[in-house]
Amino acid sequence: MSDSEFFHSGEAKKTQVQTMFDGIARRYDFLNHFLSLGTDLYWRRKSVHALQLKDGQVLLDVATGTGDQGFSALKAADVRVVGLDFSFNMLELAKKKIDARQLSRKFEVVQGDAENLPFQDNTFDALSISYGIRNVGTISAALGEFYRVLKPGGRMSILEFSEPQGWFFGRLYRFYFDHILPKLAGVMSSKSAYTYLPESVRHFPDRHDFKALLTSEGFHHVKHQDLTFGITAIYNGVK
Ligand SMILES: C[S@@+](CC[C@H](N)C(=O)[O-])C[C@H]1O[C@@H](n2cnc3c(N)ncnc32)[C@H](O)[C@@H]1O
């Protein structure tokens, strides 16, 4: 899929993204761990740590996919997790993993849209989203919903790919992302999904602009932390 074939925002993007994740769900976990060389587990831990979860709290994990961010949160504290995603196939895999780990009393999944959350105002103590915000149709609409469903004082942690800033590592990374990754993924899964990946990272707002967006949606204590030379970043905010 080329740049011009992919919509960058709005409803059309949502439909394409949903179809794409339904299509790659079966291979998603394997590719995630393989292509990140297992580093995603460390990135998730860092993102969960920023939430400062306390026993008894309820976490909403938006765009939960196959549930790995939720499992990471359950290792950090005795919380309850609600995982929301609009891909039926991703959620089916999350459910299988929840059952296999006997966590169904702690982790429930809900099919729904990040831009129109099926929850009342001020419901959750904390909210996470990992590698999901880049994929939503309209980022500000999703952020507005995150703010709405968080309780006052609730923490949010957003984990997302970003473009590394150093000249040398930046070039190396772009070469891997643009040329190696789509080929590897093409052999094992869907080439178009992993052509979309670098393209969507390029279209995501830079660190400064994204933090400004969080502030404009009402979040305070907004900050970011680069991980692994800046190929991933954590953004935090408090309602
Ligand atoms: C790259 S996966 C990340 C999954 C998981 N959070 C993880 O870290 O492995 C992105 C997920 O976002 C979901 N997604 C994208 N846009 C969404 C939306 N508007 N509402 C709900 N889920 C969405 C996709 O279905 C997919 O499961």
Q: Using an 8 Å Cβ cutoff, are 98 and 64 in contact? A: no
Checking if the pLDDT of 63 tops 70, the result is: yes
Report pLDDT for 60. Answer: 98
Report pLDDT for 6. Answer: 55
- The pocket around ligand 1, CB under 6 angstroms, is made up of 14, 17-18, 21, 32, 63-65, 68-69, 85-87, 90, 113-115, 130-132, 135-137
Q: 1-10, 33-42, 224-233 — which one is most confidently predicted on average? A: 224-233
Report pLDDT for 197. Answer: 80
Instruction: Work out the percent of the chain whose per-residue pLDDT is above 70.
Output: 95
- Choice between 217 and 181, residue whose per-residue pLDDT is larger: 217
For residue 217, give Cα distances in angstroms to 26, 32, 102, 114, 117. 35, 30, 37, 15, 16
Quick one: average pLDDT of 69-77? 98
In 10 A of CB 18, how many CB atoms? Answer: 19
- Cα separation, 15 vs 19, in Å, equals 6
- The amino acid that residue 4 corresponds to is S
Report pLDDT for 61. Answer: 98
Residue 131 C-alpha to ligand 1 middle, in angstroms? Answer: 7
Beta bridge partners of 225: 234
> Which domains, from first to last, does the chain contain?
3-163+205-238 (3.40.50.150)
- Mean predicted lDDT score pLDDT of the chain: 90
Closest residue by Cα to atom 14, ligand 1, is: 63
pLDDT band at 16 (very low <50, low <70, confident <90, very high): confident
List, in order, residues 6 or more apart from 176 with CB less than 8 Å away. Answer: none
Mutational test site, ligand 1, from 86, 157, 197, max ligand atoms within 8 Å of CB: 86
pTM, two decimals, is 0.93
Mutational test site, ligand 1, from 28, 33, 90, 181, max ligand atoms within 8 Å of CB: 90
Checking if the pLDDT of 183 tops 90, the result is: no
pLDDT in tens, 101-144: 999 999 999 999 999 999 999 999 999 999 999 999 999 999 99
Mutational test site, ligand 1, from 109, 127, 135, max ligand atoms within 8 Å of CB: 135
